[in-house]
Amino acid sequence: MGRYFGTDGFRGEANINLTADHAYQVGRFLGWYYNEKRAHAAEEGRPVKEGPARIVIGKDTRRSSYMFEYSLVAGLVASGADAYMLHVTTTPSVAYIARVDDFDCGIMISASHNPYYDNGIKLINDQGEKMDEETINLVEDYLDGKLEAFGQKWETLPFAQKDKIGCTVDYVSGRNRYIGYLISLGMYSFRGMKVGLDCANGSSWNIAKAVFDALGADTYVINAEPNGLNINLDAGSTHIEGLQKFVVEKGLDVGFAYDGDADRCLCVDEKGNVVNGDHILYIYGRYMKERGKLVTNTVVTTIMSNFGLYKAL
């Protein structure tokens, strides 16, 4: 665990132990760091991306997410990086866009399944994966007043001047392309299926229904009216009982519950029984294997998966 960043990023209660200034300073460092990284690559004759550093940002529906978004953007552009804003979107979408659109890194503003008054800053590398520890340590050093990178020390970060100040880009088109990507993964039509969605008043509220609708499902949604204060409030994957009741009462075929930033999901069958992550992996794994679509005949799990899953597969 780092001084500020844990396994899920820099988290804390908004304006208590995670402030707008923290976000601004993170933006200042990352904007400078990735521009400096490009400059060093050019000096060493290595392939380098043209133009200023490009960083993509997403956020969930918490009231404080807007404050942190603007603070991050201010820091990034002050250091000469271009900030691309996906606006309210999911953590997986930031990871996807960071990779396929060749960004230097991605930032997601969210505290996942935590209550609305918490928030967090999660850093994602250009491959759509969790940021490496070395870069995280440099960010934390800067937050502690130490600026050292590329084998050198600096007293202060320079501010970009004139036309070197970064641009702010409305990048909602990136989020829309991610929705298209999800739709393209559909293996068959869901026409005739009644699907329930619990969006936790979070990031999935304007994405999940669009995907299932496009796949032909009759989609029924609860907890898709975010107001900045109701994210995860008796809703979503940490309060699955609401979806269980909804599915049974509406006579739906299946239900899916997401958490605040939609990087986790639970399923409910037509009888209201919970289908957890291991069950979902088993169902998809067997389905794909039987149809010859399971690449390298492998299912990837975490250390939290039950041994029963391994035996069943």
Buried b (16+ CB within 10 A) or exposed e, 12-29: bebeeebbbebbbbbbbb
DSSP 12: E
Alpha carbons 17 and 12: distance in angstroms, whole number: 5
Q: Are 72 and 24 in contact (CB under 8 A)?
A: yes
Provide the residue type at 275 as one letter: V
Q: In what order do the strands lie in the sheet with 254-258?
A: 218-222, 194-198, 254-258, 265-269, 274-275
Q: How many CA atoms lie within 13 A of 190 on its CB side?
A: 21
Active site residue 112: yes
Catalytic choice (112, 203, 204, 237): 112
Q: Are 238 and 231 in contact (CB under 8 A)?
A: no
**Terminal C-alpha separation, the chain:** 33
Q: Which amino acid is at 70?
A: Y
Integer Cα distance of 185 and 183 in angstroms:
5
In this structure, which amino acid lies at residue 291? Answer: R
Could you give the CA distance from residue 88 to residue 59 in angstroms, rounded to a whole number?
5
Token match 């953007």: residue?
73
Coil vs helix vs strand at 67: helix
Run of H or E including 278: helix 277-290
For the annotated catalytic residues, the residue numbers are 112
